[in-house]
Amino acid sequence: MKILREGETTTKRRHFRRFAYADNPLQGRSYDCDERGVPYLYSQEAVESYAACIKGEVNGRVIIDRGVSSYELCVNTPAVGRCDECGADVALDRFISSCPCGADYNLLGQRLAPRREAEKDKAKRAHKKQRRVSKTSARKRA
């Protein structure tokens, strides 16, 4: 497989604005926001909830603005390779990545044996193991 794009891990910094209840600081509300604390509000419900927090009272409970906190988010972008069989692009995002044509690849883009062969090998190993167990059992009985 020809690798078209190497996989990479990038980090993104995310921010959220946190509000905690005065009577229980472990409870409260938080909103995704920019680095200045301006929230991203995606629904009317969120707009109303945020407005209540800014007022300092939610459902009769005093709520306190705890400011902006940040965290790092890791984003994995999988490698993409071109299938040796059919030329389709395959994202190498799993232990075994399959092309729609049926070809399987590992995370490095190395072609794996066709599944039928792999299944046959697995069956052979299981059969040998079973024979070993049978012989052991026979010896124990003798």
Q: What is the DSSP string of 97-135?
A: EE-TTS-EE-TT-PBPPPHHHHHHHHHHHHHHHHHHHHH
Instruction: Tell me, residue by residue from 33 to 72, as one string, x for binding to Zn ion by CB under 5 A and - for no binding.
Output: ----------------------------------------
Kindly tell me which residue out of 86, 96, 108, 118 binds Zn ion, with binding defined by CB under 5 A. Answer: 86
Neighbours of 45 (CB within 10 A): 9
Identify which range of 31-39, 53-61, 62-70, 96-104 contacts Zn ion by CB under 5 A: 96-104
Q: Is 87 helix (H, G, I), strand (E, B) or coil?
A: coil
For the bound state, the minimum distance from the C-beta of residue 101 to Zn ion, rounded and expressed in Å, comes to 3
For the bound state, the minimum distance from the C-beta of residue 102 to Zn ion, rounded and expressed in Å, comes to 7
Tell me how far apart the terminal alpha carbons of the chain are, to the nearest angstrom: 55
Does 8 bind Zn ion (CB under 5 A)? Our answer is no
Number of shown-chain residues binding Zn ion (CB under 5 A): 7
| C-alpha span between 72 and 17 (Å, rounded) | 15
Does 83 bind Zn ion (CB under 5 A)? Our answer is yes
Identify the bridge partners of residue 104 per DSSP, sorted by sequence position: 98
Give the nearer residue to Zn ion in terms of CB position, either 33 or 99. Answer: 99
